Amino acid sequence: MAYTSTIGLALSAATTEQLKAKVAALPKENRSLLKNADDHRTRKGIHLYYWNCVSKAEQRFLTKFITSLSVSEYNLCRVGDALDDNEQSGSLEDPFDMRITRDVSIG
């Protein structure tokens, strides 16, 4: 089974345009990353992209992109396959209150 992650990424409008330009420069077969987001919302000038299943290659692309940014330009939440494979980074104040949570539910 291939490695996948669930990713939420919040970006300012200007940073979203940078990401769109980077995606447009990819080979044609790899340009569907933003179109294939499971959710895309915009609120107060902040864009939120959510992918329920991102491949390792797509995750590497997004990681390379956000490492070129200041932490104040994004908010990233990533949940990997393993229980302890979680990442939350960036300090953009997004109006979606995106975060990683863990809880125990009993029906």
| 33-56: pLDDT as tens digits | 999 999 999 999 999 999 999 888
Contact call for residues 9 and 54 (beta carbons, < 8 A):
no
Give the Cα separation of 102 and 23 in Å (integer).
32
pLDDT band at 61 (very low <50, low <70, confident <90, very high): very high
What's the predicted TM-score (pTM) here? Answer: 0.89
- If you average pLDDT over every residue of the chain, what do you get? 91
Question: Angle at CA 9, nearest 5°, toward 3 and 11?
Answer: 150
Give the Cα separation of 34 and 74 in Å (integer).
16
Looking at the domain 4-89, which fold is it? Answer: Alpha-Beta Plaits (3.30.70)
Q: Does residue 22 surpass a pLDDT of 60?
A: yes
Could you tell me how many residues make up the chain?
107
Give the Cα separation of 48 and 8 in Å (integer).
7
